[in-house]
Structure 1
Amino acid sequence: MDQSSPNKVLIAGATGYLGKYAVKAFKQRGFWVRTLTRDKNRLFEPGPFTAPALKAEDIDDIFVGKVTEPDTLVGLMDGIDTVYSSIGISRQRDGLSFEQVDYQANRNLIDLCLAANVKRFVYVSMQGAENIMQLEITQVHERVVEDLKNSGMEYRIVRPCGYFSDMGALYDMAKRGRALLVGAGENRMSPIHGQDLAEVCVDTLAGSALEVEAGGPDILTQREAAMLAFEVVGKPVKITVIPMWLARGLVKFVGLLSNQFGDLADFIVTAGEIDGVGPPLGKTTLRSYFEMLHAEDQQKETK
Structure 2
Amino acid sequence: MINERNKNILLAGASGALGLEILKLLEGGPFNVRALILSKKEEEEVKPFTHDIWKVDAAKEFYDIQNITEGIDVVISAMGKSVSLFTDRGNSFYEDDFEANQNLITDSQNNKVSRFVYVSIKGASLNHDFEIPRVHKKVEEILKGSDLDFTIIRPVGFFSGLHDLAIMAKRKMIPLVGDGNAKTNSIHQRDLAKLILENLFEGPELLEVGGPKIHTRLEMAKMISEKIGGKIIKVPEKIAEWGMFIPELLDKDTAEILKYFKFITTHDMIGDKYGTETFREYLDTLDLKSLP
Residues 170-200 of structure 1 show CA distances to partners (whole Å, capped at 9, x for unaligned) of 3333333321112222110100111111111
- Superposed counterparts of 1:264-279, under 5 Å: 264-279=257-272
Computed over aligned residues only, the root mean square deviation of the Cα atoms, in angstroms, reads 2.2
1:1-303 to 2 correspondences below 5 Å: 6-45=6-45, 54-56=46-48, 58-69=49-60, 70-90=62-82, 91=84, 93-233=88-228, 235=229, 238-293=231-286, 296-297=287-288
Alpha-carbon deviations, 1:234-278, whole Å to 9, x = none? x4x721111111211221111221122211221111112211111
Separation in 2, partners of 1:98, 1:240: 29
Matched length: 284
SS of residue paired to 2:27: helix
* Structure 1: gaps spanning 5 or more residues: 46-53
Partner SS for 1:114? helix
Question: Counting helix residues as a fraction of each chain, which structure ranks higher?
Answer: 1
Percent of pairs identical after alignment?
A: 33
Gaps of 5+ in 2: none
CA distance in 2, matches of 1:291, 1:146: 39
Partner of 2:94, secondary structure, is: helix
* Normalised TM-score (structure 2): 0.89
Shift of 1:71: 2.4
Residues 158 and 213 in structure 1, CA contact (< 8 A), matched pair in contact too: yes
Q: 1-side partners of 2:194 and 2:110: how far apart?
A: 29
Q: Distance in 1 between matches of 2:284 and 2:126?
A: 33
1:298 and 1:74 map into 2 onto residues whose CA distance is 40
Tell me by how many angstroms 1:72 deviates: 1.9
Deviating beyond 6 angstroms after TM superposition, the runs of 4 or more aligned structure 1 residues are none
Decide whether the 8 Å contact of 2:67 with 2:111 is kept in 1. no
CA shift for structure 1 position 28: 5.0
The letter of the residue matching 1:65 is: V
- The one-letter amino acid of 1:148's match is L
TM-score in terms of structure 1 length: 0.86
Give distance in 2, aligned partners of 1:278 and 1:111: 30
